[in-house]
Amino acid sequence: MQKQLANWGNYPAVTCDEQAFSQDDQLQAVVAQHDAIIARGNGRCYGDASLAVHSISTLKYDKVLDFDVQHGYLTCQSGITLDQVLEIIVPKGWFLPVTPGTKNITIGGAIASDVHGKNHHVDGAFSRHVTWVDVLTADGQTIRCSHTENTDLFWATCGGMGLTGVITVVKFDLKKIETAYIKQTQIKAKNLDEVIRLFEEYKHYTYSVAWIDCLQKGDAFGRSILIVGEHATTADLSPKQAEHPLQLPKKSQLTMPFNLPEFVLNTFTVKAFNWLYYGKNFKREITNVVPYEPFFYPLDAILHWNRGYGKSGFVQYQFVLPMDQQSGLVTILKRISDKGWGSFLAVLKVFGQQHDLISFPMEGYTLALDFPVRKGLFEFLDELDELVLQHKGRLYLSKDARMKQEIFWKSYPDAKRFQEIVQRYDPKGKFRSIQSDRLLLTKPQ
């Protein structure tokens, strides 16, 4: 069915023929029908990675096939969302091993993007916790791959943005929890130097993330709030929380009903938001116990929050720089501050080591910022791309909607090897997206 599709950034929007499937034979028939197609989950990547002239939605392929409650393994179809998984596993005392900042992505999307969370420095990316994956490849075969079986396909699929085929079934491990709560500590940092020091001081925490005010200058440049946390034990809970320690949090009823006018977003409103957010913590350090939803998924509390960036949409710009390139972080933040295009949501995290083929993380710091699409934005981001490259960093493909192909090929050292594996399983380039054509990972038709 022809429809207008966009991912979470609402940029770009394309006319697409989207089909769906709920049975294996339906999937095989659709894939065989097209010379060019890409799988699409819940559309929560930000750019154009799951957009193409033809796409196939996995959302109806969403069954749990096995849940080993004793040992903590889940086997499921790829179209199930993290939200649906949490509803099943949390009441039984298990949690996702790695989760990004939204629970509204599919398991297939989590693997195709090899998502990371607030615990990458401890637990790595999602692929570290995958036992095996079944992938429907271009010739119609379903191939099981893992850390030890068909490893080339496995590592090209994890973070491979759907270019190896359609992820169908996945088995992965879970994290044991006593409660559905997080014991969190928030620490205010006066500037960027202090928050970097705090990341090091609190690195023993499983989860850590910092919000940064990227419009401040002078002594307050990069002022932040660092948030660290652990899964709460029953001993951490209040008497009321302890009555139902594994109870799921209540669902949010708030929604952004329409696209906000674009003039609402300006330097003044961003500065006002940042001032209020930084000022909400009266004490330098606050510790409390909260449900897991506001800790892991604060933005999910407002449905369709992406409409806040207006009809033209927005780009989430996320890059990572190696540990020894912190000066690059300063340079890029100063460039953004000088431009006055700061973001409501600038998020800093630390990555641990990651040794794989095409996934985004590397040991270092990653910063993510939202920029509304406006005149001059892409030229400005091209400037930032060059700075990221100069400091040996790279951009996150799941957030990308406009990176030039030369930036990609220079910043992902194993891109050629990845492309060779993709072509081995898909020599005619059946699985392709607007992004893969733009980055010349596939040959544009």
pLDDT tens-digit series, residues 45-78: 999 999 999 999 999 999 999 999 999 999 999 9
Confidence band of 262 (pLDDT split at 50, 70, 90) = low
Residue-wise pLDDT for 382-395, tens only, equals 999 999 999 999 99
Q: CATH number of the domain at 181-406, out of 1.10.540.10, 3.30.70.2520, 3.30.365.10, 3.20.20.140?
A: 3.30.70.2520
Residue 146 contacts residue 132 (beta carbons within 8 Å): yes
**Looking at residue 263, what is its pLDDT?**
67
First to last CA, the chain: 21
pTM attached to this predicted model: 0.94
Confidence band of 424 (pLDDT split at 50, 70, 90) = very high
**Cα 222 from Cα 149, distance rounded (Å):** 45
Mean pLDDT to the nearest integer, 90-105: 97
Has residue 90 got a pLDDT over 80?
yes
- 């957030």: which residue's tokens? 399
**Looking at residue 272, what is its pLDDT?**
73
**Looking at residue 342, what is its pLDDT?**
67
Mean pLDDT to the nearest integer, 117-133: 97
Q: What are phi and psi of 74, to 5 degrees?
A: -125, 135
**Looking at residue 421, what is its pLDDT?**
98
Q: What is the mean pLDDT of the chain?
A: 93
Lowest mean pLDDT among 168-182, 214-228, 235-249, 310-324: 214-228
Has residue 402 got a pLDDT over 70?
yes
Residue-wise pLDDT for 316-362, tens only, equals 999 999 999 999 999 999 998 888 876 777 899 999 998 789 999 99
Residue 46 contacts residue 316 (beta carbons within 8 Å): yes
**Looking at residue 283, what is its pLDDT?**
86
Confidence band of 267 (pLDDT split at 50, 70, 90) = confident
Instruction: Count the residues in the chain.
Output: 445
Looking at the chain, the domain(s) classified CATH 3.30.70.2520 span 181-406
b/e map of 295-333 (b: 16 or more CB within 10 Å)? bbbeebeebebbbbbbeebbbbbbbbbbeebbebbebbb
Residue 100 contacts residue 360 (beta carbons within 8 Å): no
Mean pLDDT to the nearest integer, 238-253: 90
**Looking at residue 311, what is its pLDDT?**
84
**Looking at residue 383, what is its pLDDT?**
97
**Looking at residue 423, what is its pLDDT?**
97
Looking at the chain, the domain(s) classified CATH 3.30.465.10 span 64-177
**Looking at residue 153, what is its pLDDT?**
98
Confidence band of 400 (pLDDT split at 50, 70, 90) = very high
| Region 64-177: CATH code | 3.30.465.10
**Looking at residue 354, what is its pLDDT?**
80
